[in-house]
Amino acid sequence: MTFPIPHHVETLQPYIPGKPIEETKRELGLQEVIKLASNENPLGPSPLAVQAIRESLVEAHLYPDGSGFLLKQKLASHLGVTPEQLVLGNGSNEIIELLVKTFVGVTDHAIISQHSFIAYKLALHANAKQFVEIPTKNRKHDLESISQKIGAQTKLIFLANPENPTGAWLLKDEWENFLAKVAEKNAHTLVVVDEAYFEYVTDSRYPNSLHYHHAYPHLITLRTFSKIYGLAGLRLGYGVMAPWLAAYLDRTRLPFNVSVPALVGGLAALDDCEHVKKSRESNSLGRQYLQEEFEKLGVQSFLSQTNFLLIDFGFPAAPVFDALLRQGVIVRPVANYGLPNSLRVTVGTDRENEQLIIAMKKVL
Ligand SMILES: *Cc1c(COP(=O)(O)O)cnc(C)c1O
């Protein structure tokens, strides 16, 4: 017996997450496995968040505050925005999904960039929305071509800055030119800038998109607690946008989309400046170390402002990925991003970074 599955679902490919540690141990009979595949914080969660989450569990029988009042208050003052500009989500992935569902109609389309974070494409495809994918230039967003494609039906443009998996980032002047062009072509187009790695960026030429919301009211910023805050397992992210846009997402989201541990953990994590500082410093040193070691090995690594590096072998990377797995190191293949010769590696602890380099030497 068959059931007529809608075409957009039949043709949908599921998201491929990083390979789990336990699965790798089981399959390859390994004792010790390290995972540098999902851009998680190698220092773990904020200790303050862990304590707050523990204490909150006795209230697990109660529904969470569906409005996220306390977290929005604190986040708003942390960011210099108003609580009405914030939408909390089950990871920023949920905000991506909500934006697509809420703002792209049947005759509309979205614009995405080649080699971009795959969640945008998946959300559009899963919701049967049309989209245009613009090729990159030297693995960077081609802002000129993107702005040329903007028309009356362009409702959303997704841009990650910095980008995942390429690590490429836009500079202030490019960004400002782009915003001006979008406003000129279609002032109603929503520009969604995904700043999941914002807290890792050190380049002073990097534009903090929150500074542009005033001049460009159709700008939406996405951030997350999954990366530097080390809370990927809790699922907490947020969008910053004009209050009238946020109000629409409040209609389309599920009533209790963010759990009690996520609300409480996020609140405590914002107070843990020490953890953020340590994470940023450790990442910066680790990234430098890996870059130097890859260079010595003759492996091309691209400049990065994030907690990961894209490396390129100049030949198919799948056998390198498999061989690294057998050495107990999980990294991320990115062939599904159109980058078959590359792997993405997350910056780990000092020890993990050394293990990765030792394994890479053996494998190559
Ligand atoms: C990791 C990442 C996110 C975070 O997603 P969450 O759902 O918040 O865990 C968002 N965007 C990009 C580009 C990422 O790499």
Q: What is the pLDDT of residues 279-301, one digit of tens each?
A: 999 999 999 999 999 999 999 99
Measure the CA–CA gap between 277 and 87, rounded to whole angstroms.
Answer: 26
pLDDT band at 360 (very low <50, low <70, confident <90, very high): very high
39 CB near ligand 1 (under 6 Å): yes
Check pLDDT > 70 for residue 209.
yes
Q: For 190-199, what is the mean pLDDT?
A: 98
269: tokens are 């994590």
Considering only CA atoms, which residue is closest to atom 12 of ligand 1?
A: 196
Pairing mode, strands 219-224 and 237-240: antiparallel
161 CB near ligand 1 (under 6 Å): no
79: tokens are 């960011």
**% of the chain exceeding 70 in pLDDT:** 100
Measure the CA–CA gap between 53 and 90, rounded to whole angstroms.
Answer: 16
Q: Is 275 left (phi over 0), alpha (psi -120 to 50) or beta?
A: alpha
From 6-20, 34-48, 189-203, 318-332, the region with the lowest mean pLDDT: 6-20
Check pLDDT > 70 for residue 1.
no
Q: How confident is the model at residue 190, as a pLDDT?
A: 98
pLDDT band at 18 (very low <50, low <70, confident <90, very high): confident
- Mean of the per-residue pLDDT values for the chain? 96
Q: How confident is the model at residue 136, as a pLDDT?
A: 94
Measure the CA–CA gap between 161 and 181, rounded to whole angstroms.
Answer: 18
How confident is the model over 243-255, as pLDDT tens digits? 999 999 999 999 9
More confident residue, 2 or 135: 135
Check pLDDT > 80 for residue 51.
yes
224 CB near ligand 1 (under 6 Å): yes
More confident residue, 139 or 73: 73
Cis peptide before 217 (omega within 30 of 0): no
Atom of ligand 1 nearest to the CA of 163: 13
Residue pair 213/181 in contact (Cβ under 8 Å)? The answer is no
Q: How confident is the model at residue 17, as a pLDDT?
A: 83
Residue pair 352/40 in contact (Cβ under 8 Å)? The answer is no
Residue pair 154/186 in contact (Cβ under 8 Å)? The answer is yes
